[in-house]
Structure 1
Amino acid sequence: MAYEQKTKENDGSVIEFIESVDHPKKKEDAYRLLDIFTEASGYDAKMWGPSMIGFGSYHYKYETGHEGDSFLAGFSPRKSKISLYFATGDPTREKLLKDFGKHTTGKACVYINKLDDINVDVLKALIKQSVDFLQEMYPEKVPE
């Protein structure tokens, strides 16, 4: 049985998605994040699935044969916290997170309450690190 990837790039409007965020401060932070991620990644924002904003893309293939496409870095202004998505597996990420500010981490996500809690310069470094690390690890482009 083939695995069907749930989260795919789509033609949804990033601005409409951000406008649908209920909390005014979270919406304001989402617009700031949009600018920060666009500048730091060098890519335009695209919707991935119904609620993730991704920048750039790469095609991965694991030794198990599982493969798919994902974004190089991204975020999602969720109800409880803002989820930030950076590459895992690079020790540089962990070093950068030490100076990031108030956050928690999950398996692959970094969660923040608001932008005022973090160091924006470290955020930019995390975005660049994620883009560089994934492009080096997966040089193959996303199939058209």
Structure 2
Amino acid sequence: MPKTAPTEVSVDDFLAALPDEQRRADADRLRALLRDVTGEEPVMWGPSIVGFGRYHYRYPSGHQGDAPLVGFSPRRQHLVVYLVGGFEQRYAATLARLGPHKTGKGCLYLKSLAGVDETALRELVDRTARVHRGVDTATG
């Protein structure tokens, strides 16, 4: 089974089990934000990813599968938000407003939500969901 397949694990139980109180609070805020922006209910994908919605992808190599429209994982060092590949270039102006963060291959790394511009984060999540749904191909 792929590690990014939806599971029956409770998102509430997963988040409640996070050992760090601040990480738990940030994860609850992030869950509410992603649910609000996507209109999708959270589902556990594999052991540690909270995903919202679903889309089917197919690479030029022929590899294909399903993945959440957007998702996050509350890791020990960072909150990892899974966005559309290439978002660093696509949405550079939005990232400039975001506040403290790091990026890498479709991942946005946030130490915490403190100091993060929620409007900019909402834009990144919305644009990612729209691209994955096939309704937004624009950049900017």
Segments of 4+ in structure 1 off by > 2 A? 89-95
| 3-state SS of paired residue (1:37) | helix
1:92 aligned residue (90, 98, 101): 90
2:43 aligned residue (36, 41, 46): 46
For residue 134 of structure 1, report the CA deviation from its aligned partner: 1.1
TM-score (norm 2): 0.90
Q: Are positions 1:136 and 2:134 aligned together?
A: yes
For residue 6 of structure 1, report the CA deviation from its aligned partner: 2.5
Unaligned runs of 5+ in 1: 138-144
What is aligned with 1:140? none
What is aligned with 2:65? 68
Contact 1:10 1:48 in 2 (8 A): yes
Q: Identical aligned pairs, as a percentage? A: 34
Greater CA drift, 27-36 or 82-91 = 82-91
For residue 62 of structure 1, report the CA deviation from its aligned partner: 1.4
Contact 1:92 1:129 in 2 (8 A): no
The two structures, once aligned, show a CA RMSD in angstroms of: 1.4
For residue 94 of structure 1, report the CA deviation from its aligned partner: 2.7
| 3-state SS of paired residue (2:47) | coil
TM-score (norm 1): 0.87
For residue 88 of structure 1, report the CA deviation from its aligned partner: 1.5
Q: Are positions 1:14 and 2:7 aligned together?
A: no
Count of residues paired in the alignment: 134
Q: Are positions 1:117 and 2:98 aligned together?
A: no
Where relative contact order (Cα < 8 A, 6+ residues apart) is larger, the structure is 1
1:126 aligned residue (124, 127, 140): 124
| 3-state SS of paired residue (2:93) | helix
Unaligned runs of 5+ in 2: 136-140
